[in-house]
Amino acid sequence: METHLLLKLTPQPITPEAFQPFGQVIFASEDGVSYGTADAQLQLQNGTPRFYIMRLHPRGLKFRTITRHRQVTQCLGSLNGEEWFMAVAKPGDSSIPDWESISAFRIPGNCFIKLEVGTWHAGPYFEAPTVDFYNLELSDTNIVDHDTCNLLEAYGVEYEIVPSLPTN
C-alpha cells in the first residue's frame, strides 16, 4: 500500500499583490487606455503563439503533479464567468519546486491570469460540470516546454484544494 501525505490547500482570493510572485492578474480596463503595466507582460517570442479555447471536464480537486513552462508566459481565463482554482509555486532554477510553498488561488470569472515564465502550476480546477478556458501559450508548448514534477514520487505528497465559501 502506498503511503503518502495528503496536504489540504484552502485557496486564497486572487489579488494582483498576492499573485505577483507567480505572474499577473488582469482585470478589465476601459477601451482606449494605453498599454501599461496593468496589461499582461507577455513573452511569446520563442515560437508561434497559440490562442485557443479548451474545454475541461472535472478532474476533482486533488493533484500529484505540477508543471512549468520555461520558454513562455501562459495566460488562462474561464469563459462564462466561471470561478476556478489554480495551485502555484514560484519559478526557480531547480528541476523540482519547493513543495512546502505551493499555494492555491480562487479565481473569479471576471479576470484572467498570466503565469510568469517558469511558474509551477497545477490546474485549472473547478467545481462546475464543464468549463471552457481560453489559453494563450506557444503552439508547441505542451510538446517542447512542459516540465512536470510528480510530487508523490519526489516528496511523497499529494494536494487537495478545499474551497471555502467565497467572501464578498
Q: What is the CATH number of the domain that holds 96?
A: 2.60.120.480
Burial of 159 (0-12, 13-18, 19+ CB in 10 A): buried
Residue type, 128: A
35-93 residue pLDDT tens: 999 999 999 999 999 999 999 999 999 999 999 999 999 999 999 999 999 999 999 99
Q: Is residue 3 part of a domain?
A: no
> How many domains is the chain partitioned into structurally?
1
Which set of grid coordinates corresponds to residue 144? 517542447
Burial of 63 (0-12, 13-18, 19+ CB in 10 A): buried
- Residue 94 domain boundaries: 43-131+141-168
Q: Is residue 9 part of a domain?
A: no
State pTM to two decimals: 0.93
Q: Is residue 6 part of a domain?
A: no
- 35 C-beta neighbours (distance < 10 Å), count: 7
Q: Is residue 101 part of a domain?
A: yes
Q: Is residue 20 part of a domain?
A: no
CA distance 83 to 79: 9
Q: Is residue 70 part of a domain?
A: yes
Q: Is residue 28 part of a domain?
A: no
88-122 residue pLDDT tens: 999 999 999 999 999 999 999 999 999 999 999 99
CA atoms within 13 A on the CB side of 38: 9
Q: Is residue 88 part of a domain?
A: yes
Q: What is the pLDDT of residue 9?
A: 97
